Amino acid sequence: MSYPEARYLKETGEHSGVLRTADAPPDLSMARGGTQVRYLATGGLTNGAFGLYRWEMGPKPSGPGAHFHRTMTESFYVLSGTIRLFNGEKWADGRPGDFLYVPEGGVHAFRNESGEPATMLILFTPGAPREAYFEELADIAQTGRELTAEEWTELYLRHDQYMV
C-alpha cells in the first residue's frame, strides 16, 4: 500500500481548515423527539473524499432495516449509549468505543432499541451526497407521507440503498 497521488500541487500550504464547534445546531431532525443529524463533513466539503455525520438518536426505537451499498463503504463509531449494530450475520450491542466497518456490498443495519438516547459517528467513503437521502427521509417522517412499494424502491435506487 502506498500514498495516493497528490491532490494538492501548490508549493506552500493554505489556510483552508473548517471548524464546526460542538454547540452548532443540528442540520436535520428526522422526526419529532427523534434522531438529530449533524453534517460534520459532507462529500461536497471534502471534495468527495468522505462524508462524516454525527447521528444523535432519541430514546424511541429507530434505525434502518438491513441493506447494502454498491458505491461506498460505511463505518459506525458509537460515542454514547447502546446502538444495536448488524454486520450482515448477527446483531451486537454497540457501546461507546465500538466500531463497525462495512465495505461496499456488505449487508448491515443499526438500531437504537435501548430506550435511552445514543450517539454515533457515521462515515461514508467516498463522500456520496447522503444529505439528500437523509433529508428526504426526514420529510417523509415529518409530513406523514406514505410511499408505495414502487416509490420506496425508486427512492432507494437513487441513493445507492439496496434493502435486504
The candidate with the shortest Cα–Cα distance to 52, out of 70, 39, 67, 65, is: 39
What pLDDT, in 10s, does the model give residues 136-150? 999 998 899 999 999
Q: Give the model's confidence band at 31: pLDDT under 50 very low, under 70 low, under 90 confident, else very high.
A: confident
41 vs 45: CA distance, rounded Å: 6
Q: Give the model's confidence band at 32: pLDDT under 50 very low, under 70 low, under 90 confident, else very high.
A: low
Q: Give the model's confidence band at 121: pLDDT under 50 very low, under 70 low, under 90 confident, else very high.
A: very high
Triad 88, 91, 149: Cα angle to 5°: 60
What pLDDT, in 10s, does the model give residues 74-112? 999 999 999 999 999 999 999 999 999 999 999 999 999
The candidate with the shortest Cα–Cα distance to 62, out of 131, 164, 134, is: 134
- In the block, which residue shows the cell 461514508? 124
- Amino acid of residue 93: D
Give all domains of the chain, ordered by start, each with its CATH number: 28-163 (2.60.120.10)
Average confidence score pLDDT of the chain: 95
pTM attached to this predicted model: 0.94
The candidate with the shortest Cα–Cα distance to 82, out of 115, 37, 121, is: 115
